[in-house]
Structure 1
Amino acid sequence: MSKAFQCYRFLSKVSKLLPLSQKIFKSQPLTNQSSHRVIDHINEENLKLNPEKKAQFKLDLGNKLIQQGQVEEALKYYDLAIKLRPNWPEAYYYQGNAWVAKGNYQEGINAYKQANRLGLNSQELILNWEQSAAKLAGQYIDQGNQLFSEGKLEKALIELDKAIATKPDSPWPYFYQGNIYFSLRQYQKGMASYDQALSLKANVPGLNLNYANVLLRQGKLEKSIDYFHQELRNDPNCAEAHHMLGNTLDRLNRFQEALPYWEKAIALKPGNMTIYNDIALHLMFRGERKSMIRLLEQGYEEQQKNALKGNVGQQDIRFLSSTWSSVIGHTGLLDYYIKMTQLGLNSHRHTILLARPDQIVNPCFLDYWKPYIDIVTEPESIEKLTPLSDSLQDVLAGIRFSDRRTLPYFEAWAVVQREWEKQQRSPLLRLSDSHLERGWDCLASLGVPRDAWFVCLHVREPGFHQDKKGLYKTFRNANIDTYTLAMETVRERGGYVIRLGDPSMTPLAPMSGVIDYAHSDLKSDWMDIFLCGACRFYIGTTSGLSHVPPTFGVPCAMTNWTPMGIRSPYGADLLIPKLYWLESEQRYLSLAESIDPQIGYIQYAPFLAEKRIKPVDNSPEDINALVIEMLERMEETGNYTEADHGLQREFDKISAKYTAYSSRFSRDFLKKYSDILF
């Protein structure tokens, strides 16, 4: 054997003992000329050796090519070595290293598995195998998160399942899997994923926080507090954990305990309007109007300081977050926000809504606003714009006017709509021809003739929001059975009734001319909007869906309205409120008492219960009287006496102490309860 060949054999043995990184980066590649001499010599020697030794030559040559960075060529020689010695674990091991060097982790793992099955169990093999599995799982996680951000949640789950199969001892795929189930409202599955991640005893930022949020959605408030505290033990400066812990304590009616956590969240992120928005809403739920306004003023002031520091304070642009697209009632509030801009009541002229795909509750309704604002849904664009939006964001809870007034959203809404109607401007939205055509086709399939008219009926129930119990148990729900008389009245006048809602609602008993669309197979996002925009009028309760019809100029007959201090701002609307029974004095509160923000802004039953106040639903007769009045208005057959106008003026005077609303209370309702007006 020649000295050159003996030297090469020695180098190859040394090479096998080195970690892969050293083999690749520390060896000096041969020149092309010397490389050809070695290869020629090896080929000449191979003719004289048996298959086992030939396999060793192929392996050695593959290792040498790896040292030179020639991965593709090395793989060919490893394949040749394996063909010569199919049960040689070292050959599969080095083949695995080559695949990993190429970035093909799955092939690398397959080769490592084969090496292990054939008896190789070295530390280097196990380490490379684990690292490759982690890399491959990371790729699946990245792909899953990208699909998640694009709203392709089911496909994202498939990628995360692959990550779990590849690296079952990693907490990360379980964490992201839990996040997706949370978005899908599949909370039990989300908890199972988070439980698996927690069982792996790894510190995953946000894991305890997200677990706590899942518990919140299931009404397990007390248990969620433990996980918020655990998140804060891991990261004492997690503003979101402080923020959400404060919210949770408030929901448990531990308001004083909540305050320091809210204050800490604000201190950690001054000017972050998302935090101010959430806390302001909590104050509103308690009837704390003045505190709500002060907090919003503080938030907008801090935000302005941040904008000036970032040299964006003079931008003629404002951003809205996906909060405005995630709930249909919030999307309806774009109506007043856009009108505010058109009336010159704010200080900018350009609005951008950053709407994540998984945070768009009704794509059709959102599309109708595109002529007025820019709507960005691409995840990459949202990510790029988010830092700028943090300093230029308007929030749902309240808005700042160009004269620097800051008002809660419902008061601002009333101010804007009153000015809009004063200038006799038209509604912003109009159903498209294609939606009109398709919508009437669908109604025809349900038995509604094209020349017929119909009203929409939506009576809020607890199923959709799962708000049957807890501190945030609402009193905005009502009983659909109390609307039967009103439905019969519409039918007697020749109209049809289309019941809106979701499948969780109580099914309607069969009634001629009444269609339970909430349980129909034809239900869709665009059909919801068509019905709201094409009906003669809308009969509803206090819910987000009631914000949709007025944007198309459709009047609403609002029943069981509550809270009293917040009214519909549209002049075409009629309403009757729930009365409040004061148990301690065995009397109804006057309408004036019910409007006061300390009572009139409260939106959750336990806060009223503390004051020993019980909301009383409207009677079927009161609901029917309201519907008859709306029918008369639509038919222009109604008659209001001077006494009727006088009662309305007196009530409006009381209301105007806080906010002047354009909607009217029902004529018959004011007559019937005139003795408790003041």
Structure 2
Amino acid sequence: MKYRFTRLLPSFMRIPLPPLYIPVLKRMRRWIYESLYESQDEALVAMKSHAFLFFPRNYGHAKGIFLKLVEMGALKRAKGQLKKIEKNFKGLLGEVELAYLYEHLSVHYRGVRSLCAIEDLYRDRLKREPECMWARRELAGVHFRLGDVPGAIAVVTEQRLLRDHLAGRLGYDTERTRYFGSFYTLAIGHIALLGFYAQQQELQGPEGRRNRLAIDPKRVANACLLSYVEPFFDLVTEEETELQEVIAALEDPHLLLHGGGNRWDFFYDGLPQIGREWERRGNGPFLTLREEHTKDGEKRLREMGLPEGAWFVVLHVRETRLGEVRNAKVADYLPAIREITRRGGWVIRMGDRTMTPLPPMEQVLDYAHDTRKSDSLDIFLLGACRFFLGTNSGPSIAAKLFGKRIVFTNFAPLFCNAFGTPDTWIPILFRDTKDQRLLTLREMAHSPLVYAEYPAAIPGYSVEVVPNTPEEIFDAVVEMFGVLESEQETFSVGLSERIRFDALCRELGINLHAPPSSRFLARHAKWLD
């Protein structure tokens, strides 16, 4: 009889061993791996993954090892695992499942060093399969995260031309119909973007493109929000098997927004135009909380300690992905939180359990760490809050669909401001590490820094992020209360700097859609030099 561990040995050494030796050899093997790796978990995963490289059992086992390696941040080994999966299980994997594995690797990379490796992964995939649309989409995303917008646009433009050719070959009309796959349901921000596409369709009327959505129930980040935007889409049914298989290839490139006819706009230039046109026509919020949803949400908040009729502000501060500029420290928001509670409001902090817990505070709920979290309560909070305070993230987009005002703090990337005048925002700044001075808006305007999510990875730039101070965040919240309560003194602060800001934007030929906080401009007048 041969024992499982002997499968790791060369064939001439695979001989039956007495049962007495089995536990001894297993302990020896584990001791060797633990001496090579920093933690026991890492050693265990290494043992399993190395065994799989030579003796794959089944796809479920292979996928489990891959997901664990990604979670641990072992990018190099995860890439090797992914290539082995593709080679050994090619016949079992559909394009949708394969795209999911690649996307999972992309969204979990750790820090800036991984970006080049991720780019190589997609380029290798495109060499083997030039018509792989989701690989082009992810490659464009890598360019964009590095601030290389021309490079990203070049990739997605080529993707659009290939998509149109493929659609014509298969008999689908992408000029009159816009297709959306599971990419648009993987995160709450992606689902919220569906709302803006639906808003565009409502503005265009019968002349606009028809929206079709394919939903994979296993890949829906928030089913409640999806239920709000779903009625605006024609759903791809399970019976339409051929369309289900090619839906990812038929999607519009994600960094381009169809403006009608032959016009395609850069996404962050086209999206604000939708909101402004919607407001110009005198429309209210695009989404409104359903009555039964509101009653259930209010009931659950009372159970969590909020008095009946209490108003609240939602706080969401990103803490994911090392090196990304959209991250911030929640501790910097404590003075602003105290100001909100001093004025009689409550603060409900959204997020997940991986985030830094808030210290115990009066009239503050750290909902991110609450066991009573649910999809429906998430959306109720975003749709019923007085305003949203936080960083550039998916929940902020959802709050905007419900017509809520936003206080964007530590806002980045600078040119990815997709919203309008009802919002208050303060950007991050950059410091040149060579001479230790802050870069001006003029220096930033035509550099990759205004789009990059990982500025430390941009060749030729030696900069560090300067996050907003607690005082700046506090001032932004005070300014929002001034807007809500029409406090006249708020509008006089930083007025001359605001005029300078508008003039500089016109001179530089840039459009930030709305000026930053007046108090921020007053503090950083040199930013406008």
TM-score, normalised with respect to structure 2: 0.80
CA deviation string 1:506-551 (max 9, x = no partner): 2222222112222223211111111111011111112222111110
Q: CA deviation at 1:597?
A: 4.8
2 CA distance for matches of 1:458 and 1:260? Answer: 33
What residue number does 2:213 align with?
Answer: 353
Q: 1:264 to 1:406 in 2, by over 3 A?
A: farther
Q: For residues 262 and 517 of structure 1, do their structure 2 counterparts lie closer, same or farther at Cα, with a shift above 3 Å needed? A: closer
Asked if structure 2 preserves the Cα contact closer than 8 Å seen for 1:326 and 1:359, the reply is: yes
Using a 3 Å threshold, how does the CA distance of structure 1 residues 222 and 557 change in structure 2: closer, same or farther? same
Identify the match of residue 475 of structure 1 among 325, 332, 337: 325
The offset of 1:503, in angstroms, is: 1.9
Q: Is residue 2:243 matched to residue 1:392? A: no
Question: Structure 2: how far apart are the matches of 1:236 and 1:428?
Answer: 44
Question: What's the counterpart of residue 224 of structure 1?
Answer: 78
Q: Which amino acid in the other structure matches residue 676 of structure 1?
A: W
- Matching residue of 1:37: none
Seen in structure 2, the aligned counterparts of structure 1 residues 298 and 400 have a Cα distance that, compared at 3 Å, is: farther
Q: Is the 8 A contact 2:410 2:428 kept in 1?
A: yes
Higher relative contact order by CA 8 Å / sep ≥ 6: 1 or 2?
2
What is the match of residue 215 of structure 1? 69
Deviations 1:576-595 (A, max 9, x none): 11211111121001123334
Q: Distance in 2 between matches of 1:650 and 1:374?
A: 47
Structure 1, residues 228-250: CA drift from partner, whole Å, max 9, x if none? 55467769999969978997899
- Does the Cα contact within 8 Å between 1:273 and 1:300 map onto a contact in 2? no
Sequence identity, in percent? Answer: 27
**2:145 counterpart of 1:285:** yes
Instruction: State how 1:10-25 maps to structure 2 within 5 Å.
Output: none
8 Å contact from structure 1 (residues 272, 390) kept in 2: no
Measured after TM superposition, the shift of residue 198 of structure 1 is 5.1
The 1-side partners of 2:122 and 2:56 are apart by 29
Aligned partners of 1:576 and 1:626 also within 8 Å: yes
Distance 1:216 1:409, change over 3 A: farther
Distance in 1, matches of 2:380 and 2:90, equals 49
**Pairs aligned (count):** 481
Name the Cα RMSD after superposition: 3.7
Secondary structure of 1:426 counterpart: coil
User: Which residues of 2 match residues 150-549 of structure 1 at below 5 A?
Assistant: 200-201=55-56, 212=66, 214-228=68-82, 230=84, 252=113, 255=116, 262-263=122-123, 265-266=125-126, 268-313=128-173, 316-344=176-204, 348-375=208-235, 380-381=238-239, 383-387=241-245, 389-390=247-248, 392-462=250-320, 467-468=321-322, 473-549=323-399
Partner in structure 2 of residue 672 of structure 1: 523
Counterparts of 1:634 and 1:292, CA distance in 2: 39
Cα deviation for residue 253 of structure 1 reads 5.7
Q: Alpha-carbon deviations, 1:443-465, whole Å to 9, x = none?
A: 22223222221111112223xxx
For residues 356 and 655 of structure 1, the distance between their equivalents in structure 2, rounded to whole angstroms, comes to 43
Distance 1:345 1:433, change over 3 A: closer
Of 426-435 and 593-602, the range deviating more from structure 2: 593-602
* Correspondent of 1:636 among 459, 472, 486: 486
1:587 corresponds to 2:447: no
- C-alpha contact 2:146 2:457 (8 A) present in aligned 1: yes
Is this contact kept in 1: 2:145–2:453, CA < 8 A? yes
| Matching residue's letter, 2:161 | E
Other structure's SS at 2:347 match: strand
The residue type paired with residue 624 of structure 1 is F
How far the C-alpha of 1:340 sits from its partner, in A, is 2.2
Q: How far off is 1:395 after superposition?
A: 4.2
1:607 is aligned to: 457
Task: Kindly state the Cα deviation for residue 389 of structure 1 after the two structures are TM-superposed.
Answer: 2.5
Give the 3 Å change call, closer, same or farther, for CA 443–207 of structure 1 in structure 2. closer
Conserved 8 A contact 2:418-2:513: yes
Structure ID, larger Rg:
1
Instruction: Using the TM superposition, give the Cα deviation of residue 277 of structure 1 relative to its aligned residue in structure 2, in angstroms.
Output: 1.3
> What CA distance in whole angstroms lies between the structure 2 residues aligned with 1:421 and 1:661?
18
Q: Which residue type is aligned with residue 521 of structure 2?
A: L
Matched-pair contact (CA < 8 Å) for 2:415–2:512? no
Letter in structure 1 aligned against 2:222: N
Instruction: Find the residue that maps to 2:475 and give its secondary structure.
Output: helix
Judged with a 3 Å threshold, the aligned counterparts in structure 2 of structure 1 residues 301 and 609 are, in CA distance, closer, same or farther, namely closer
Deviation at 1:268? 4.8
Q: For 1:555-566, what aligned pairs fall within 5 Å after superposition? A: 555-566=405-416
Gaps of 5+ in 1: 1-185
Distance 1:212 1:417, change over 3 A: same
Q: Do the aligned partners of residues 332 and 596 (structure 1) sit closer, same or farther apart at CA in structure 2, a change above 3 Å counting?
A: farther
Q: CA deviation at 1:278?
A: 0.7
Paired with 1:294 and 1:336, the residues of 2 have a C-alpha distance of 24
Letter of the structure 2 residue corresponding to residue 663 of structure 1: A
Contact 1:270 1:299 in 2 (8 A): no
Is the Cα contact below 8 Å between 2:62 and 2:85 reproduced in 1? yes
- Consecutive unaligned residues in structure 2, runs of 5 or more: 1-40
The one-letter amino acid of 2:303's match is: S
CA contact (8 A) 1:347 1:401 kept: no
Instruction: Tell me if structure 1 keeps the 8 A contact 2:501–2:515.
Output: no
1:401 partner SS = strand
